[in-house]
Amino acid sequence: MSSSNPQKTMTAPPDWRSKLPHVNYLNANYGIKSWLFTLDHKRIALLYLLSISFFFVLGGAYAVAIRMELLTPAGDLVQSHTYNKLFTHHGILMVFFFLIPSIPAVLGNFLIPLMIGAKDLAFPRLNLLSWYIYMAGGVLTLWALMAGGVDTGWTFYTPYSTKFSNTYVMLAGLGVFVNGFSSILTGLNFIVTIHTMRAPGMTWFRLPLFIWSHYATSLIFVLGTPVIAITVLLVALERLAHIGIFDPALGGDPVLFQHLFWFYSHPAVYIMILPSMGIISELIATHSRKNIFGYSFVAFSSIAIAVFGFLVWGHHMFTSTQSIYAGLIFSIVSYAVAIPSAVKVFNWTATMYKGSISWDTPMLYAMFFIGLFVIGGMTGLFLAALGLDVHVHDTYFVVAHFHYIMVGGALMGYLGGLHNWWPKITGRMYPEAWARFSALVIFVGFNLTFFPQFLLGYMGMPRRYHAYPLDAPLWQVLHVMSSAGASILGFGMVIPLVYFIWSMRYGKFAPANPWPATGLEWRTASPPPTENFEVTPVVTWEAYEFRPIEEVKTVGGDNPDQPRAGENPLTGNR
Amino acid sequence: MATHADTAGVHTTPAQHEAAQSALAHHFDNMEQQKAATTLGMWLFLVQEVMFFGGLFLVYAIYRALYPQSWAAGSSHLNWVLGGFNTVVLICSSLTMALAVWAAQAGRPRKTQVLFLVLTAVLGLTFLGVKAFEYADKYQDGLIPFAGWFSPTDPETRELFTTHGATLQNVQMFYWIYFAMTGLHALHMIIGIAIIIPIIWAAWRERYSPEYYAPVELFGLYWHFVDIVWIFLFPLLYLLGAHLAAGH
Amino acid sequence: MSEHIVSRKVYFVIFAALLVGTVLTVVAANIDFKSEVINTTIALAIAVTKATLVVLYFMHVRYSARIIWVLVASGIFWLAIMMVLTASDYMSRKWASPLVPTVQSAPAETKH
């Protein structure tokens, strides 16, 4: 099993590559009950991986239907009220059941205890409960979708959702409400874990930046999600009681709903991107074999994004009769919130400078992230400008902007993270050639899908419309490009699904530290034992201390307390 | 400010010691870590509750600013005596809850612990009883805020709700918010009483001692929070119209 | 554990203060200060004081680790963000627009 890659090193203890660790968290117990009643954060992460993947595929299916309709100007595939359901379902599933939970619930759950040197999260039973609550919310929402659907848009704007819509708004709202508590409990669990369960010597500023970003995300989970919960509850109660709480005809104010809704839903987008940024920090450090430039700046920028993110929600309401003075405040602060994100991008770039870069798949995804996130972020600034937003609000410009961030940003980070930690999670390597190929296909497909949408939006194509004018010929060209891109993107997404599953049976066995990387998670076996570490680690080094690759043993790693090449691992003698 | 009298001569019984040891979860290193974690966890939960109720307070505040006369009219019809009584009941229950925590912390016998916990529960039930009476009263008066149901049976009330700038539509909204806020609060009280019952049972089984009283303390935090919500609800809902009524 | 045990005397003193505060709230509510703002401010001030006493003494925050103080303050601060920024919209809606000529709108229910 020798590799021609000089970065995969020299001698290693015999036999470690021939099989998985004798007992690890995957084979510690067998049977469906050992999974459904597990308290092991790693197994819960895999439960989430399965369910989140399911919702992602379902949400993607709705996207396929949307793109098929938009191939032609006429609304000829589905009727308009059906189309309303298509984009609503796509939005609800993708936002609430994929983007918000994905990285925290899968990679966060799996890695946080490992990265800080703990045996599990602070509240393992609460963690399992979070997954069951997520599933309950999912079942309720699916029920609403299958029973007849919802057509209000994922934003549930009133008074349409409270008074006029004849669809399963209450049921879908209930699903979202229940799902919210899954998020809150996960965030609570993460904050307590990071505060109280770090291994000896693991000070705050030795933590991986993945932890910092998940901490910031958890702050948003706890502070923001309850507001969407009460808002959705109010919508449901209003549909029942018809008092007029958001109905202008009865003295209510629909903009009040929007304030309540966006107070959460804007920070929610930072929930979607912050974990991904944490992953990117890890990927770039690992695959450049270099300490993150400006570690504390990156760490604090995560907190800054979480805090500032709560001050800008009104930028979704510039054209909703919100006072122009409030609009001014929200606009200015929206520009401010871009600054910490930019700080990260600069620091990542500086990290790569003079680094020892390897272009493994995770690094490809990290590069895609940086480019696509910058485009998405900059176009967000266009939207934050009051004057410009008046023209492009509710057009495809907005749709393109947020897909660049969510797919080009969050999804790329998620995929990069899955690839980076796949060896740790499963003890297997994914096939590198296929992975690089699919990453490129995804990148091409993504840009082909969403870049034309910037142009469409700028030219005036409204969002949530299933038809567009025949006499704007460029529009159809752009829509066809977008739909073609969507097919390519879809194809690209299927490939990892296949090879990840393939790898679990046929993939090369992975060592404890394949890249190799720093971080406590790489110092335990791949896959880890149930209790994570044989011996609780004692940390005496800073985060991201890399040595020249020639000095690193594969099984060991970079950290100063581990044997260097040629050293006897037991006695340390050269 | 602990006095010697609080802890003099206190020692845990073997049963209590064993209960304390068995309370340590396998993934924590020691009880200090577990206590720190669970306390932080409960406080985080309370913070999210603040935001949860906060949404309702925001709705209240906005519509009060928009419809002050209707708010005052609706409020003046609420029975502030009952509301005030309930406020006193909850404050008493907070005292008994704090004393229950003290009893466990200071190693008092299980009788004392159980007494204070039971008093807390009884006061909580009293509160709920009064609320049930109030709600039933609203139903009798035709003041249930549901489409088509809101119609005051008493002509004086109807006049109060339709004059001096108040409109029936907006007073209905006030009552809707009143029911939503006090209903959500009552739901939290019900959940609290449901949780205190196993705690009373465990206290009777001598599980709590100076070595281990976290469940009592953490539940106490939740109970005090529910009290604090009512401390705000009482003046905001019941006392708005008082000065206007005094001026009539 | 080395936890600070708050004495019963403190609890009873706080209890008495809370009762006094309740009485004060009712009394103040019945006095017509001729300004809705003053009545509201007094009511809220008393409620905030009562809540603070409960938080500090009944909930032991006065004797708790700093992280708990930070958490409590953050919760209040975040609620304040939501309320203040939303209120800023409503309060400034009727201000003259810097861009378009002021339009006469129908008189609405008076507000402060």
Locus of tokens 């003099």: B8
Is C29 in contact with B227 (Cβ distance < 8 A)?
no
CB-nearest partner of B51 from A227, A242, A259:
A227
CA C62, distance to chain mean position in Å, is 19
Q: Where are the alpha helices (DSSP H) in A353-460?
A: 361-384, 386-392, 396-405, 412-426, 432-459
Nearest alpha-carbon partner for A64 in A404, A415, A405, A449: A449
pLDDT of residue A549: 79
pLDDT-derived band of residue A372, with 50, 70 and 90 as boundaries? very high
pLDDT at residue B199 tops 80: yes
What is d(CA A401, CA A417) in angstroms, rounded to the nearest whole number? 23
Most A CBs within 10 Å, among B24, B26, B27, to test the A interface: B27
Q: What is the pLDDT of residues C26-67, one digit of tens each?
A: 999 988 788 888 888 999 999 999 999 999 999 999 999 999
pLDDT of residue A561: 63
- Say whether residue C73 is in contact with chain A using an 8 A CB cutoff: no
CB-nearest partner of B52 from A119, A229, A245:
A229
What is d(CA A254, CA A260) in angstroms, rounded to the nearest whole number? 10
Is A310 in contact with C81 (Cβ distance < 8 A)?
yes
Q: Which residue of C has its CA nearest to A327?
A: C89
Q: What is the pLDDT of residues A326-357, one digit of tens each?
A: 999 999 999 999 999 999 999 999 999 999 99
The interface predicted TM-score of the complex, written ipTM, equals 0.92
Is C82 in contact with B51 (Cβ distance < 8 A)?
yes
Contacts (Cβ under 8 Å, ≥6 apart) of A282: A208, A209, A210, A417, A420, A517, A519
pLDDT at residue B213 tops 80: yes
Query: What is the arithmetic mean of pLDDT over A465-493?
Result: 95
Give the helix/strand (H/E) hosting A94: helix A80-94
Q: How far is A307 from chain C (nearest CA, A)?
A: 9
pLDDT of residue A557: 62
What is d(CA B151, CA A239) in angstroms, rounded to the nearest whole number? 20
pLDDT at residue A12 tops 90: no
CB-nearest partner of A120 from B27, B51, B67:
B27
Is C90 in contact with A323 (Cβ distance < 8 A)?
yes
What is d(CA A521, CA A544) in angstroms, rounded to the nearest whole number? 13
Q: Where are the alpha helices (DSSP H) in chain B?
A: 4-7, 14-22, 31-66, 68-77, 80-105, 110-140, 155-162, 168-204, 214-233, 242-247
pLDDT of residue A408: 95
Is C111 in contact with B68 (Cβ distance < 8 A)?
yes
Is A245 in contact with B173 (Cβ distance < 8 A)?
yes
pLDDT of residue A560: 60
Residue pair B91/C16 in contact by the 8 Å Cβ criterion: no
pLDDT of residue A552: 74
pLDDT of residue A103: 98
Chains that touch A (3 or more CB pairs under 8 A): B, C
pLDDT of residue A565: 55
Instruction: Return mean pLDDT, chain A.
Output: 92
Q: What is the pLDDT of residues A29-58, one digit of tens each?
A: 999 999 999 999 999 999 999 999 999 999
Up-side HSE of residue B96: CA atoms within 13 Å toward CB?
A: 20
pLDDT of residue B17: 85
pLDDT-derived band of residue B7, with 50, 70 and 90 as boundaries? low
- Higher pLDDT residue, B77 or A562? B77
Which residues lie across from A552 on neighbouring strands?
Answer: A564
- Cβ-based contacts of A124 with chain B (< 8 Å): 27
pLDDT of residue A480: 97
CB-nearest partner of B91 from C18, C39, C59:
C18
Q: Which residue of A has its CA nearest to B179?
A: A237
What percent of chain C lies above the pLDDT cut of 70?
84
Chains that touch C (3 or more CB pairs under 8 A): A, B
CB-nearest partner of C68 from B43, B94, B97:
B43
Is B48 in contact with A250 (Cβ distance < 8 A)?
no
Which of the listed ranges A88-102, B11-25, B64-78, B152-166 does the model predict with the highest average pLDDT? A88-102
pLDDT of residue C102: 59
Is B84 in contact with C55 (Cβ distance < 8 A)?
no
CB-nearest partner of B87 from C4, C22, C68:
C22
CA B113, distance to chain mean position in Å, is 20
Nearest alpha-carbon partner for A162 in A90, A75, A256: A256
Q: What is the pLDDT of residues A96-147, one digit of tens each?
A: 999 999 999 999 999 999 999 999 999 999 999 999 999 999 999 999 999 9
pLDDT of residue A547: 83
pLDDT-derived band of residue A200, with 50, 70 and 90 as boundaries? very high
pLDDT of residue C37: 85
CB-nearest partner of C5 from B58, B88, B105:
B105
Q: How far is C101 from chain B (nearest CA, A)?
A: 24
Residue pair A377/A402 in contact by the 8 Å Cβ criterion: no
pLDDT at residue C111 tops 60: no
Query: What is the arithmetic mean of pLDDT over B85-98?
Result: 97
Nearest alpha-carbon partner for A11 in A564, A504, A472: A564
Q: What is the pLDDT of residues B115-172, one digit of tens each?
A: 999 999 999 999 999 999 999 999 999 999 998 889 999 999 999 899 888 999 999 9
Q: What is the pLDDT of residues A490-543, one digit of tens each?
A: 999 999 999 999 999 999 998 888 888 999 999 998 899 999 998 999 999 999
- Say whether residue A324 is in contact with chain C using an 8 A CB cutoff: yes
Is the bond into A267 cis (omega within 30 degrees of 0)? no
Dihedral sign, Cα of residue A161, residue A164, residue A167, residue A168: positive
pLDDT at residue B4 tops 80: no
Looking at residue A6, what DSSP letter applies? T
SS3 A509: strand
Is C95 in contact with A322 (Cβ distance < 8 A)?
no
User: Can you give B40-91 as a three-state secondary structure string?
Assistant: HHHHHHHHHHHHHHHHHHHHHHHHHHHCHHHHHHHHHHCCHHHHHHHHHHHH
pLDDT-derived band of residue B247, with 50, 70 and 90 as boundaries? very low
SS3 A482: helix
Q: What is the pLDDT of residues A53-81, one digit of tens each?
A: 999 999 999 999 999 999 999 989 999 99
Most A CBs within 10 Å, among B51, B70, B187, to test the A interface: B51
pLDDT of residue B6: 52
SS3 A4: coil
What is d(CA C42, CA C36) in angstroms, rounded to the nearest whole number? 10
- Higher pLDDT residue, A471 or B186? B186
